[in-house]
Chains A and B, each alone.
Chain A
């Protein structure tokens, strides 16, 4: 049941601050690791299966379920994240926040995720006002982006799979558009790469949804040390010079 929320949040025109993040692509380009459509495809696939999967699983796990949330009815073995009980919702969000922090070893990437969560929050507050957002903000004023996307999709009545697909897609669409801008790659070729990632994207979504029912400590934790290191280098070494993207 795809809905408007996951479409709006995945839209490149959504005003949540995503366009200033390249998902590590700017650093990869400046090191000569990505310079063509082919090398971009490899970069995106790696990012999808690591950072993309983690984000997708946490987005799916953050979709609230309850009688008052239209998305109820999905069967989950995990403790339900309800819309009714603020305490239950908050402690579940707190758990997910801590688990996602632990899966994001680079401080620069944690900051990029919170920056996008904060920007998205500002935009969604106007569109989907809900106490669930207050519960998320009570845990941290700058919520991680995947948690916020999950919460909003839930509020809008979408199932966990849509939240997962939204953030998994953003994990690759952001760097893809940054590549068009930084390298002047043929936009049709880059768009075709994104579409070719379709099957990989669907398997990430399926894995995220099935994992989302587990206790949050068991959510997937694939590592991408090169992306972690490059994200940190992008901020540390480029501070104060020639940096067009925040991450």
Chain B
């Protein structure tokens, strides 16, 4: 019977709301926890990954390439608080009022996952600032996590989608190690491909492992030295924005 049952729902076995298994014997309702459409506020994209992988450089590239077209702002969680924010301001990538830095109390992963209060406050501050200024509001908020380990992911209560950035210089075994960032992020970016020959990293191994672990989820390899505009990631972000507006 179970075999027939599975086939009735097609190869993925999905019911309407994607609940494969319920552990609640009293449950009779369909899953009412569908992701909220979150209209009326900016799309929030988290950018996570280990220290030095190129998160700030990616944020700067996106701010430069999308800043003209998209009303965007940035929240940074760097463990030394304002380093990243200063970098973004100094390079005139973003005017100061579009960058908010938060303190994470020595726990960058806590601030993006277990207790997202400081980040939500920063986003609220930015949204209020621009809603009252030009009445148009923000379209996109990029939240850069403080550099952390491979297990750090953003809470779904904080961001709508997340990008995980690893770099070639960290070794070509990084994707194989997995961890929730590499495995589940909506987009995996393997950065600094220009360094691959210098550190003896095999790009085929990295992308092969990443694709095997991630299944259908996308992987982009890039070098911000060779493409300072982060073209492919920018296109992915624009696609997320367009999907959301259409929804």
Contacts and interface: CB of A to CB of B under 8 A. Distances in A.
Interface of A: 13-22, 115, 118-119, 122-123, 178, 181-182, 240-246
Interface of B: 79-82, 86, 102-107, 110-111, 114-118, 120-121
Given A240-B82, A244-B105, A246-B102, 5 more contacts: A20-B103, A20-B111, A20-B118, A178-B106, A242-B81
A22 B82 CA distance: 18
Nearest to A19: B105
Contacts of B121: 17, 115, 118-119
Nearest to A142: B121
A181 B107 contact: yes
22 contacts: A13-B114, A16-B117, A17-B117, A19-B110, A19-B111, A20-B102, A20-B111, A20-B117, A115-B121, A119-B118, A122-B120, A123-B117, A178-B105, A181-B106, A181-B107, A241-B80, A241-B81, A244-B80, A244-B81, A244-B104, A244-B105, A246-B118
A20 B107 CA distance: 8
Nearest to A115: B121
Nearest to A21: B105
A245 B103 CA distance: 5
A246 B117 contact: no
Contacts of B82: 240-241
Contacts of B104: 20, 244
Nearest to B146: A244
Nearest to B117: A17
A244 B114 CA distance: 17
A15 B114 CA distance: 7
A115 B119 CA distance: 12
Contacts, number: 66
Contacts of A118: 121
Contacts of A14: 115
A15 B115 contact: yes
Contacts of A178: 105-106
Contact of A243 (B103, B110, B111): B103
Contact of A244 (B79, B115, B117): B79
Contacts of B107: 19, 181
Contacts of A115: 121
B117 A242 contact: no
A118 B107 CA distance: 20
B118 A244 contact: no
A28 to B, nearest CB: 15
Contact of B105 (A13, A119, A241, A246): A246
B67 to A, nearest CB: 23
Nearest to B80: A242
Contacts of B106: 178, 181-182, 244-245
Contacts of B111: 19-20
A189 B156 CA distance: 36
Contacts of A240: 81-82, 86
Nearest to A20: B105
B117 A15 contact: yes
Which of B105, B106, B114 has the most C-beta atoms of chain A within 10 angstroms of its own C-beta?
B105
A202 B202 CA distance: 62
Which of A16, A123, A243 has the most C-beta atoms of chain B within 10 angstroms of its own C-beta?
A243
